[in-house]
Amino acid sequence: MTTINDSLAGDFILVGFSDYPQLEKILFVAVLISYLLTLLGNTAIILISCLDPMLHTPMYYFLTHLSFVDLCFTTSIAPQLLWNLHGPYKTISPTGCAIQLYASLALGSTECVLLAVMAFDRYAAVCRPLHYATVMHSRLCQSLVGMAWLSGVGNTLIQGTITLRLPRCGNRRIYHFICEVPAMVKLACVNIHANEVQLFMASLVLLLLPLTLILISYGCIAQAVMRIRSAQAWRKALGTCGSHLLVVTLFYGTITAVYIQPNSSYAHSQGKFITLLYTVVTPTLNPLIYTLRNKDVKGALKRLLQKDRAQQSEKL
């Protein structure tokens, strides 16, 4: 195990992957590439959705917010992670730790609810196609997105504040690469049973409840498509819902493994690598999934490129 330089008194020490010094170099390159792709991919989706009138629909309105959440979520984690992986200093200031805790928790919670909102949108598109424009009107879309953001902010204000107010008795070594609630709770020098129960209940509400709503939505979609018994209907439903379902599988499959598992196993290396998946890798894959599997996005990108080329030709 490498020696961690913790000469900055008062700062938290992010132990991270210091048990694997050779792996840190590989992770630095992988995280850097992943972060740059996240910035590029999600920014592109936001710009395309805003600039192309054909994409001014509820689905892409929600996708724009999802891309923005992913962009901010990874930005709240990746730069500090890269700094710690690159050099001997594995520290983060108390203020920086609090900001990271609040930001990552708020954005992660918002994404949980936002994915459920997108599942409802897909349900309306497949099961209520004739009334889709009436059901998913702009005011409802804005309200659903507002609910997602308020849920995330409300959760982080409660959980984050309670966690940061716990007495730590000088404990500064965080056995993780980010300031996250489960890791921060372990620094407390008092009985944390109530905090563990509170964290578990919050996880049930913000993880399992949206996931249940997503499963119900896709169950209704599957029933509606099975009644039609048409191969074309199956292909259309898969094209409409496939990208979102894949994103849900990646995000919930990793984040539930961290927040629903017993706390006794959280500090193990497995928890760190799983956290790395949903904080860094998944936001990178989301724009790739939506662009590679989505004809509308690829068509919009082609139109924007053709428009740009036409403007350049006129100038010449």
CA distances (Å), origin 301, targets 52, 285, 286: 9, 18, 17
Distance between CA atoms of 35 and 67, rounded to whole angstroms? 13
Convert the pLDDT of each residue in 129-155 to its tens digit: 888 889 999 999 999 999 999 999 999
Q: Is the Cα dihedral 141, 160, 244, 126 positive or negative?
A: negative
CB–CB of 117/144 below 8 Å?
Answer: yes
Structure tokens at 149: 């953001």
Q: pLDDT per residue over 23-82, tens digit each?
A: 888 999 999 999 999 999 999 889 888 888 888 889 899 999 999 999 999 999 999 999
Summarize pLDDT for 204-219 with one digit per residue, the tens. Answer: 888 888 999 999 998 8
Alpha-carbon Rg for the chain in angstroms: 21
Q: Residue 41 phi/psi, 5° resolution?
A: -65, -50
What DSSP string describes 183-208? HHHTT-SS--HHHHHHHHHHHIIIII
For the chain, domains (ranges, CATH) are 12-300 (1.20.1070.10)
- Range with the lowest mean pLDDT among 197-206, 239-248, 254-263? 254-263
Phi and psi at residue 91, to the nearest 5°: -105, 160
Tokens of residue 184, six digits:
């921060």
CA dihedral 170, 173, 178, 184 (to 10 degrees): -50
CA atoms within 13 A on the CB side of 153: 6
pLDDT value for 312: 62
Confidence of residue 1 (pLDDT cuts 50, 70, 90): very low
Is residue 264 scored above 60 in pLDDT?
A: no
Is residue 153 within 8 Å of residue 99, measured between CB atoms?
Answer: no
Quote the pLDDT of residue 207: 85
Longest dimension (CA), the chain: 72
- The beta-strand segments (E) located in the chain are 12-14, 91-92, 173-174
Give pLDDT, residue 223: 84
